[in-house]
Amino acid sequence: MAYQTVNPYTNEVVKTYPDATSDQIEVALASGDKLYHEWRHTDIQSRAETLHRIADLMRKHEDSLAKTMVIDMGKLLKEAKGEVELCAIIADYFADHGADMLKPTPIKSGVGDAWVEKHATGVVLMVEPWNFPYYQIMRVFAPNFIVGNPMILKHAANTPGSAVAFEQLVKEAGAPEGSLINLFLNYDQVGTVIADPRVQGVALTGSERGGRAVAAAAGENLKKSTMELGGMDSFIVLPDANLDEVMKVTRQVRLYNAGQVCTSSKRFIVAENLYDEFLKRLGQEFASVKPGDPLDDATTLAPMSSAKAKHKLQQQVDEAIENGANLYQGNQPIDLPEQFFEPTILTDIKPDNPAYSTEMFGPVAQVYKVATEQEAIDLANDSQFGLGGIVFAGSKEHGAKVASQVETGMEFVNTFMYTLPELPFGGVKKSGYGREMSTLGLEAFVNEELIVAKDHPELDNLAGALF
């Protein structure tokens, strides 16, 4: 496997990196393990200060950090800068709130004083995808750094530049050696790291295919894991929704990051009274984008991340049409030599069409017409995925009632999909398990250690005692 940056806008091979050596892996495991044991006796305050410095440095180096991502995987520079700022927000949040979130939880018990302490467990491996090259790392890094779990990073093969930049930033902030070590691991080496007794958990964000392989290795070795996988998020437009409000977000929710977002709205499920008007206006939104150099502020459609990603999407769209989908708009070649894909709208997708149950990771919207609210909910739930979703309704109460009936990890009513450090992120079904960010994410790899403390045993009351 080659770790390589190929600029998706110029097709230039920028840099190739060799796989990690066995020695590098051993050094990473040993220094991570040493740090874990040191951190068990260190005040959390020093890690909070380092995390604030990481946030400051991210803001200071915003421009160069953002450009590194653009060269790695082609996202728009303004979106890349937004991602750097989001990372800084996440780092600041866990620096400010980590200590409180890790306070022991008292338990009322007849046995006497009892509480649960939250301790670090050891080295955590994170396996991350290319679509948000820093944000995906930060979601795992910031909470685990505060907890005291050192981390090994295996980033996607096509974003090695971003992996190196993040690791360097952590070093520049003065984090102790072993806090975050980037390794260019091949798949076999990922298995080796997971099996190592110094590693206590693995967090993967990526596809169902990658998730299956890494979750299996974690299960085999009885290691805790969290899986943040794909999605076919629904965007339900109820009959009483205000279409002007709906149209304010439709372009963003499907075309942001060239449509390569796990929580993009991939299925628009629209009430029949609004369907024709919705389609017309979605078509206008999609037609208004300007493909071009992602470093140019005037560009509004970035190239896809790689030739492979574009090829896969083209195959999926062709297959959808061959199986009866109606091509409402798009799917025409863009007259630029790079990995651009014209924003495309497909309708009339029946359950036997492969597109009905396949995640399309690019600027393609599926639009469905429904006659009733229940039909909208049933269609949203007729998916193997359950990551997130959006509901637009005449009131937030009506929208929330419908949102609660959609089987996903995250639902948003009359608004965009937000991702912020205080909000838990994750899904159900084949979208994975576990949560990142928020208290739930912070606790993913902690040992919730029960302590029961008494001055002396009370031998006359043995109910519940274990021998």
Nearer to ligand NAP, 187 or 418 (CB): 187
Q: How far is the CB of 298 from ligand NAP (least distance, A)?
A: 27
Site map 396..435 versus ligand NAP, x via CB under 6 A:
-------------------------------x----x---
Which of 40-48, 104-112, 201-209, 341-349 is the region at the interface with ligand NAP (rule: CB under 6 A)?
Answer: 201-209
With binding defined as CB under 6 A, does residue 262 bind ligand NAP?
yes
Collect contacts of 368-376 with beta carbons under 8 A, ≥24 apart. 368/267, 368/268, 368/269, 368/270, 369/270, 369/272, 369/275, 370/269, 370/270, 370/271, 370/272, 371/272, 373/238, 373/239, 373/271, 373/402, 376/236, 376/238, 376/269, 376/271, 376/402
Nearer to ligand NAP, 183 or 301 (CB): 183
Q: How far is the CB of 213 from ligand NAP (least distance, A)?
A: 3
- Considering only residues 18 to 77 of the shown chain, the ones binding ligand NAP according to CB under 6 A are none
What's the half-sphere exposure (Cβ side, CA atoms, 13 Å) at 98? 28
With binding defined as CB under 6 A, does residue 359 bind ligand NAP?
yes
Nearer to ligand NAP, 157 or 295 (CB): 157
With binding defined as CB under 6 A, does residue 233 bind ligand NAP?
no
With binding defined as CB under 6 A, does residue 268 bind ligand NAP?
no
Which of 76-84, 175-183, 224-232, 272-280 is the region at the interface with ligand NAP (rule: CB under 6 A)?
Answer: 224-232
Catalytic residue numbers read 228, 262
Structure tokens of 432? 């994975």
Q: Which amino acid is at 129?
A: P
Among 114, 213, 321, 400, binds ligand NAP (CB under 6 A): 213
CB 404 within 8 A of CB 377: no
Structure tokens of 288? 């208004």
Nearer to ligand NAP, 122 or 231 (CB): 231
With binding defined as CB under 6 A, does residue 216 bind ligand NAP?
no
Beta strand ranges found along 264-404 (DSSP E) = 267-271, 326-329, 344-347, 364-370, 385-386, 388-392
- Considering only residues 112 to 171 of the shown chain, the ones binding ligand NAP according to CB under 6 A are 127-131, 154-157
Tell me, what DSSP letter sits at residue 148?
T
**CA–CA dist 163, 257 (Å, integer):** 19
259: region left, alpha or beta (phi > 0 left; psi from -120 to 50 alpha): left
Tell me, what DSSP letter sits at residue 368?
E
**CA–CA dist 39, 47 (Å, integer):** 9
Q: How far is the CB of 225 from ligand NAP (least distance, A)?
A: 12
Q: How far is the CB of 39 from ligand NAP (least distance, A)?
A: 26
With binding defined as CB under 6 A, does residue 365 bind ligand NAP?
no
Binders of ligand NAP: how many residues, by CB under 6 A? 30
Q: How far is the CB of 113 from ligand NAP (least distance, A)?
A: 39
**CA–CA dist 432, 227 (Å, integer):** 5
CB 39 within 8 A of CB 159: no
**Residue entry with tokens 């208004």:** 288
Nearer to ligand NAP, 173 or 355 (CB): 355
With binding defined as CB under 6 A, does residue 361 bind ligand NAP?
yes
Nearer to ligand NAP, 57 or 365 (CB): 365
Which of 162-170, 229-237, 328-336, 343-351 is the region at the interface with ligand NAP (rule: CB under 6 A)?
Answer: 229-237
139: region left, alpha or beta (phi > 0 left; psi from -120 to 50 alpha): alpha
Q: How far is the CB of 119 from ligand NAP (least distance, A)?
A: 26
Q: Is 160 helix (H, G, I), strand (E, B) or coil?
A: helix
Q: How far is the CB of 320 from ligand NAP (least distance, A)?
A: 17
Q: Is 377 helix (H, G, I), strand (E, B) or coil?
A: helix
- Considering only residues 76 to 115 of the shown chain, the ones binding ligand NAP according to CB under 6 A are none
Closest CA to 425 of 445, 414, 413, 441: 441
**CA–CA dist 254, 343 (Å, integer):** 9
Q: Beta 267-271 vs 364-370: how paired, if at all?
A: parallel
Q: How far is the CB of 348 from ligand NAP (least distance, A)?
A: 24
Nearer to ligand NAP, 152 or 271 (CB): 152
Among 124, 387, 403, 437, binds ligand NAP (CB under 6 A): 387
Among 229, 246, 437, 444, binds ligand NAP (CB under 6 A): 229
* Maximal C-alpha separation, the chain: 85
Q: How far is the CB of 162 from ligand NAP (least distance, A)?
A: 12
The residues binding ligand NAP (CB under 6 A) are 1, 127-131, 154-157, 187, 190, 204-207, 209-210, 213-214, 228-231, 262, 359, 361, 387, 427, 432
